[in-house]
Structure 1
Amino acid sequence: MIRIVLIGLWICAVALGTLFFTVKSHMPASGDAGEKASYLGGIDYATTDVFSVPIMTDGSVAGYIIAQLIYTVDIKMKARITVPLEYFVKDEIFRQFYGSYSDTKQVEKVDFERVRKSAIDGINRHFPEPVVRDLLVEQFTFMPSSEIREMNMKSIGKRLSEH
């Protein structure tokens, strides 16, 4: 009986020692990487859902921008915010594109660097300190209304042929 208890204690000691040395080896050195670790440790990222913004020309929908974005945020500020930041990101992109183009050719030549900087500034304007650090593109596509109608018609035809 004593032998079994000693074997159990030995196994626990080895497991705790392994855990201690693993954690110790993954900690950054205090002098050389302290500043870099604090900068990287203070940023988080999130991805928006896929969303669309209608592009209006001559009073009708000419197409849609379909986007999914990734934004990096300051963790401390994110913890203090009660409204999801995704709402602010989507709203700012919507404001930048809705009603801003009179020709779809302009949308296809969009300067995303200008849009990115303007969107970050517009989002951070809502907060006392900057929250969003960067805005990255996961998906950003312009789809003309004619292509969407064509896809819908094919889908309807396929469903009708199945019945």
Structure 2
Amino acid sequence: MIKLVLTGVWVCVVTLAAVYFSVQLATAPTTDPNAAKTPTQEFVKGEQINIPVISNDGVSGYFLTKVSFMMNKDKAKDLPLPLVELTTDQLFTLLVGNKMIDIAHPNSFKLDEFRSDIKKNMNERLGGDYIASVLVEQIDYLSKDEIRSNASGPVKKNMKPVKVVQGDPVPEGADKSTE
């Protein structure tokens, strides 16, 4: 009779231990071996930048731009140069110096080429592979005549800029950082 009771207790202990450890393994978080290899990226929000368009007669209008970046989180902390000023310089170079956008034909603008130029030139100036991707949130154009007509009379809410590109959405779940 004692052997039967000890056998029953032994079976109960083994069963409870097996259930406990199976539940622990089932609820344990899985580790992805590729997650450790890929660096985490951080969303660096850009600022609104107004770039004048200069022609023979002077300023003919303004580009209203907003460009943000996805950067390696570890490298973003150790930037050798201020990102906002570098972005402003790069946008002046591409939009005013190289004249990538023809205002008469805004549909001819190549957004992918614009993004790759910004990424390549910014990484060269920063001295490494800092920028993972470029997010163009806004590129609009306001002519000088539209600005003057709005400034000369009562404030009009119907001033419509020329939409050069439709902006990229801000990535979901991205760590937001303003610098």
TM over 0.5: yes
Q: Which amino acid aligns with 1:109?
A: S
- Alpha carbons 2:79, 2:126 under 8 Å: kept: no
What is the distance in 2 between the residues matched to 1:28 and 1:131?
A: 31
Count the aligned residue pairs.
129
Secondary structure of 2:126's counterpart equals coil
Letter in 1 for 2:103: T
CA distance in 2, matches of 1:145, 1:118: 28
Q: 2:72 is matched by which residue type in structure 1?
A: D
Aligned to 1:133: 132
- Distance (Å, rounded) in 2 between the aligned partners of 1:71 and 1:94: 17
RMSD: 2.6
Helix, strand or coil at the partner of 1:150: helix
Instruction: Quickly say closer, same or farther: Cα 1:108–1:64, change in 2 above 3 A.
Output: farther
- 1:77-98 CA distance string (max 9 Å, x none): 1111253312212211111011
**Distance of aligned partners of 1:28 and 1:122 in 2 relative to their CA distance in 1, 3 Å threshold:** farther
Query: After superposition, what is the alpha-carbon deviation per residue over 1:28-73, rounded to whole angstroms, capped at 9, x for unaligned?
Result: 512xx3314653x521011111111111222421211101111111
Higher share of residues assigned helix: 1
SS at match of 1:98: helix
Structure 1, unmatched stretches of 5+, are 1-24, 158-163
TM value normalised by structure 1: 0.67
| Residue number in structure 2 paired with 1:80 | 78
Instruction: Mark the runs of 5 or more structure 2 residues left unpaired by the alignment.
Output: 1-26, 157-179
Identity of aligned residues (%): 16
